[in-house]
Amino acid sequence: MQLEFRSNRDFWAGVMLIATGAVAIFIARNYSFGDALRMGPGYFPSVLGGSLIVFGIYLLAAGLRRNEKIEGNWSLRALIVLPLSLVLFGLLMEHAGFVPALMVLIVGSTAAGSEFNLIEALVLAAGLTAFAVVLFIWGIGLPYPLIVGW
């Protein structure tokens, strides 16, 4: 029997659940467990962590038996670029204002796709940002400076 761990879907789902459950129990050690009558803050998380581990072990075993593959590719580019654009948006909202934050977010997001075209991205960013300014800042009245210091 050949085992392909790298793309075994249920195996990794099991690993993920076991790891989450173990971390939960490990952290919950610091909270008092209490007893069934007076449950401490550690009671519920420990029980949940334990059940995650049980589910995880089952899935891990099932995965080794069924060996189902993870479908599709990992779209690594989007997986890195999209969260990064969001982080930039967060930073720029605090330090630069609504317009630069949103422009960067939109141009950044388009770069996550496979058909990136800078001109198209800029046009899209300008249009969407204008729309957002009208709708959210002027329309709904969200209290953000368009550009900090302006």
Partner 1 sequence: MELFHNLVFGFGVAFSLQNLLYCAIGVSVGTLIGVLPGIGPLATIAMLLPLTFNVAPVGAMIMLAGIYYGAQYGGSTTAILVNLPGETSAVVTCLDGYQMARQGRAGPALAIAAIGSFVAGTFGTLLIAIAGPPLAGLALKFGAPEYFSLMLMGLVAAAVLAQGDMVKSLAMVAMGLLLGIVGTDVNSGVQRFSFGINELTDGIGFIVLAVGVFAIGEIVANLGHPEERRFFTDKVKNLMPTKQDLKQSIGPITRGTLLGSFFGVLPGTGPAIASFSSYMMEKKLAKDPSRFGKGAIEGVAGPESANNADAQCKFIPMLTLGLPASGVMALMLGALTIQGIQPGPEVMTTRPELFWGLIASMWIGNALLVVLNLPMIGLWVKLLKVPYRFLFPAIMSFSAIGVYSVNNSSFEIYLTALFGIIGFVWLKLGCSPAPMLLGFVLGPMMEEHLRRAMLMSRGDASVFVTRPISLAFIVATVAILILMVAPAVRARRGEIAG
Q: Is 28 in the site for partner 1 (CB under 8 A)?
A: yes
Work out whether 100 is an interface residue with partner 1 (CB under 8 A).
no
Nearer to partner 1, 3 or 145 (CB): 145
Measured CA to CA, the distance from residue 45 to residue 51 in angstroms comes to 10
Per-position b or e across 79-88, b if 16+ CB within 10 A of its CB: eebbeebeeb
- Binding partner 1 (rule: CB under 8 A), the pick from 16, 22, 96, 122 is 16
Q: What gap in Å lies between CA 148 and CA 141, rounded to an integer? A: 17
* Location of structure tokens 């075209």: 117
Among 29, 58, 138, 147, the residue binding partner 1 under the rule CB under 8 A is 58
How far is it, in rounded angstroms, from Cα 15 to Cα 86?
28
Q: Residue 97, Cβ neighbours under 10 Å: how many? A: 17
Which of 33, 55, 64, 97 is in the footprint of partner 1 by CB under 8 A? 55
Total residues at interface with partner 1 (CB under 8 A): 69
**Helix/strand/coil for 69:** strand
Q: Which residues bind partner 1 (CB under 8 A)?
A: 9-10, 12-13, 16-17, 20, 24, 27-28, 31-32, 35-41, 44-45, 48-49, 51-52, 55-56, 58-59, 62, 68, 70-75, 77-79, 82-87, 89-91, 93-94, 102, 105-106, 109-110, 112-115, 121, 124-125, 128-129, 132, 136, 140, 142
